[in-house]
Structure 1
Amino acid sequence: MTFSLKPDVTETATEHGTVLFDQRRGRYFQLNPTGALVLHTLMSGASRERAAEVLRESYGIDADRAQADVAVLLETLRKKKLATE
């Protein structure tokens, strides 16, 4: 499946990660640099597995932790209705 932000969600890079703005509800969501890395990797068309690999390589964490972190971020973005996969 292809990952994307919902059409009414905008993304802005900050010095502390990324901010997502949900225009429908007027709410902001802050992603730390780790979340921003995963988000941008997925938005470039990479799979969840590749996003976990990039996370693992960038932060030196084990594969299970990286996969779990990607899964949690994706689930949170879906629950908040910010993204689709």
Structure 2
Amino acid sequence: MSVITIVALLGFLTIPEGMSVGDQIVKPRCQCIKLEKQPIGRLIGMLEVNPANSYCKNVEIIATLKKDGNKICLDPNAPWVKKVLDRKRAEQTP
């Protein structure tokens, strides 16, 4: 094997699964498979909203629970989720 072939092979093996975009890592697939439809508003500590992109056509809303830090995907079409998002946006607006 030539040196160029070995270097190319090692280069391909070191490419990470996600691609770096600034400080964030973009994963090439949807993160949310199962969506929570039941209201859990009081249990939510933090919300993360991932807009649709070329890897996932769905808007993903991921809630981190206060108690144990578990992450749960929320149904963005559920009325209670829309209210929680509106409330969080209002809190962030000065």
Q: TM-score, normalised by structure 2?
A: 0.30
More helix by share: 1
* Structure with max Cα Rg: 2
Task: Kindly indicate whether structure 1 or structure 2 has the higher relative contact order, using CA contacts under 8 Å at least 6 residues apart.
Answer: 1
- TM-score if structure 1 supplies the norm length? 0.33
